[in-house]
Structure 1
Amino acid sequence: MTSPLPMRYVQLRAFHYVAICGGFSRAAEALFLTQPAISDQVRKLEEEYDILLFNRRNKQVTLTQQGEELLTITRRLFDVEQQALELLTESRALRLGELRIVADAAHHLVPVLGRFRARYPGVHITLRAGNTQSVLDSLRAYEADLGVLGEMPEGRDFVTLKLNSTPIIAFAQRDHPAAARGRMSLADLARFPLVLREQGSKTRHRLEELAEAEGVPLAAAIEAEGREAVREIVASGAGVGFVSTAEFGADSRFSAIEIDAPPMLMDEALICLRERAGSKLVQAFFDIARSADPQG
């Protein structure tokens, strides 16, 4: 014998949506069903229990007293169902999910990644490098769930969390002639061969803004894609590079050179598309990032 529960559930759901949507047509749209199907399910519920749930007058649908009482119950019923679905979905995502991150500098995430992996060891994480433009493009194309970039993006498309804010400095191989001077103007730095990031890099954009403001010609002797490429070229003694102090690190091959100008701050931010902010994995990563101290 087939249990009547599945059919009763369908009928209760039809009643609930008619009640909360204010009509049969709107309920049908919400449930992706036809209006006759919704009407038939409500009618069968009323006939089976010999009860009138809706007053139908002049194409207006209102709840009867018994309908009001049943709606109080179905609100609890479907709210509990939604909570159960969210719990099941969250559990699966946080146990076996995949999180895709694209970052202009991965080291900003090291403290967060360690804590996240300790708490959610089953989540598979992919991390790839990019510049500001490629981070934004990857998020908008749904090729990444999270991004890290050297600015707080404008507009309302993204949810952001500031990780840190540090100034841009120059750096050179420790035996390079520029390394002996701990502080130089951009004009003086520009007399040396410069190793600059590719177009689309926020670091390069900030340098070009300063150069324009100070009337300094800024030309790349070598243009390299990616921060690590710049570091290795500078390590060879081929020129002077630029990086934020947070990214400079403790590499004994290099000497830091302060730029004699108003600080050019790089605001490293964790970001995601606003419409993806409800993802359980994204929420979990943001929560851990808020509780971590990336600079500590």
Structure 2
Amino acid sequence: MGYPITFRQLEIFNSVAKHLSYTRASEELHLSQPAVSMQVKQMENLLDAALTEKIGKKLFLTPVGQVIWDYAIHVLSSKSAMEETIASMRGSEKGHLRLAVPETANQFVTLSLAQFRKLHPGISFELLIHNRQGLLECMKNNEADLVIMGQTPEELDLETRSFMNNPLVIIAPVNHPLTKRKSIKLSDLAELEFVVREVGSGTRLAMQKFFSQHKATLKTSMEMPTNEAIKQAVSAGLGLGIVSLHTLQQELALNLVELLNVKEMPIMRIWYMVHQKQKIVTPAMQVFMDFVSEKTENIWVEKYPSLDTYL
């Protein structure tokens, strides 16, 4: 027996399941809370099973609710892909992409989006900014169509596509004694303190691996949750820092920090576009991935030519 559940009901339930809140779902969908509750109740009547349950003040999905949510994600993704494919076949370009990126990539991603939108105005975006753990959750929960990250996880079944180098460099406060030296050994930094990202971040993992490979000491004085916080701390004189070159355009232009000429640096990482292997690649996704692969590095270098030598 088929159940006449509508796409709209699946969209509403998807929002409730994602937020585990009828109130937040109603705000996201611009509906009243009773309207959201009524649609979920209709689904429960059709399925003859509860989809959510409230324990104390918290809302949870029931086992049936979890199954319905899993299918809702795939059905809604397929619906979006179908609409984009049909629009492409008709000669019109249409689509909406949920793009998740780390704070480190935000500057070059927004530059690329500005150029892309000029060429493809029919494709809209939702830009999500997360730390590494947030990016992994986005992929696991299908909350993003495409993720940009610097270190891909081995535990997930992913399609990856590299598109640009991501050099990590050492920064120091302006007028730090080491800024006068043309060549610095990594061992010269053994007694100096570093301001670092939180445990588990991609930059922190790359730093630890690099220092370990070179049998060098990494002395940390303070942990920070964002690259912006690290740059501000370094500028204030709280220590040295290691950040992506792609985050430093403004600070270098305003002479807030300086790059150190460390012989073994930069730590050269790679930027990747990532999505789940089972993800349906829509025409909008494909044209955006091709654009990023072909154009992003050139867009960044044209904007900041003085930093080209580090790539």
Name the structure 2 match of 1:189. 189
Counterpart for residue 158 of structure 1: 158
Matches within 5 A, 1:180-259: 180-249=180-249, 250-251=252-253, 252-259=255-262
Q: Cα distance, 1:153 vs. partner?
A: 5.0
Secondary structure at the aligned position of 1:147 is classed as strand
Cα deviation, 1:210-250, whole Å, max 9, x if unaligned, reads 32234433232111112122111112121111123344334
User: CA shift at 1:282, angstroms?
Assistant: 1.8
CA distance in 2, matches of 1:102, 1:213: 28
Specify whether residues 90 and 183 from structure 1 end up closer, same or farther in structure 2 by C-alpha distance, changes over 3 A only: farther
TM-score with structure 1 length normalisation? 0.61
Q: Distance in 1 between matches of 2:210 and 2:191?
A: 16
Distance 1:180 1:106 in 2: 31
Q: Indicate the residue corresponding to 1:144 in structure 2.
A: 144
Which residue in the other structure is 1:87 paired with?
86
The counterpart of 1:287, out of the listed 285, 290, 293, is 290
The answer to whether structure 1 residue 126 and structure 2 residue 126 are counterparts is yes
Matched, 1:265 2:264: no
Instruction: Tell me, in whole angstroms, the C-alpha distance in 1 between the residues paired with 2:206 and 2:95.
Output: 40
Aligned pair in 2 of structure 1 residues 122, 85: CA closer, same or farther (>3 Å)? closer
Q: 1:182 to 1:254 in 2, by over 3 A?
A: farther
Unaligned runs of 5+ in 1: 1-82
Q: Structure 2: where are the runs of 5+ without partners?
A: 1-81, 302-311
- CA RMSD, Structure 1 to Structure 2 (Å): 3.1
- Cα separation, 2, equivalents of 1:150 and 1:84: 31
Distance across 2 between alignment mates of 1:113 and 1:288: 10
Displacement, 1:262?
6.7
* C-alpha distance in structure 2 between counterparts of 1:94 and 1:137, whole Å: 30
Give the direction of change, closer, same or farther, for the CA distance of 1:84–1:271 in structure 2 (3 Å limit): closer
What amino acid is the match of 1:236?
Answer: A
Structure 2 Cα separation of the partners of residues 99 and 213 of structure 1: 37
Quick one: which amino acid aligns to residue 184 of structure 2?
M
Deviations 1:269-294 (A, max 9, x none): 12222222512332221122133142
Contact 2:197–2:203 under 8 Å retained in 1: yes
Give the stretch that moved more between structures: 219-228 or 176-185: 176-185
Cα separation, 2, equivalents of 1:267 and 1:206: 11
Retained in 1: the 8 A contact 2:84–2:283?
no
Shift >4 Å, 4+ stretches: 89-94, 152-156
Partners of 2:84 and 2:209 lie apart in 1 by: 51
Percent identity over paired residues: 23
